[in-house]
Amino acid sequence: MIWTISQIAVGGALGAVSRYLAGIALLRFWTSDFFYATLFVNVSGSLLIGFAYVMLGCLEGEPGKFAPMLITGFLGGYTTFSAFSLDFWMLFQQGRIAESLIYAVSSAVFSILAIFIGMAVAKQFS
């Protein structure tokens, strides 16, 4: 149990730092007040979690020894649904209703689509 918790802690720290760095990198390319960084992180995180879920054997019910570090830790620290929720609220509070709805729908649709794509790609390698 201690080993698993340690894996999750290390993975979570690396995922959180990666999320932060991805946000900074995207802000350098897009100077907009729209929340592209969070959208990118949530969609790419969904793609990666779909891929990792298949590649680590979770689909077959036998997760590999690195599943806690990669899925729960790293990708749990990397994706930020709470940030998504706050971004939505901020847009909504600013009266940007259409943008907030587009943001919410596109986040959900693209993240779910990315799960399917990540799993399909992983199945090609397994």
- Mind listing the pLDDT tens digit for each residue in 68-87? 999 999 999 998 788 889 89
Summarize the confidence of residues 88-113 as an average pLDDT: 95
How many CA atoms lie less than 13 Å away from 62 in the CB half-sphere? Answer: 1
Residue 74 is predicted with a pLDDT of: 95
- Half-sphere exposure in the Cβ direction for 49 (13 Å, CA): 22
Among 10-19, 29-38, 70-79, the least confident range: 29-38
Neighbours of 120 (CB within 10 A): 12
Crossing angle, helix 81-93 and helix 36-55, to 10 degrees?
A: 160
Q: Where are the domains of the chain?
A: 2-125
65 neighbors 47 (Cβ within 8 angstroms): no
**Total count of residues recorded for the chain:** 126
Assign 94 a pLDDT band (cuts: 50, 70, 90). Answer: very high
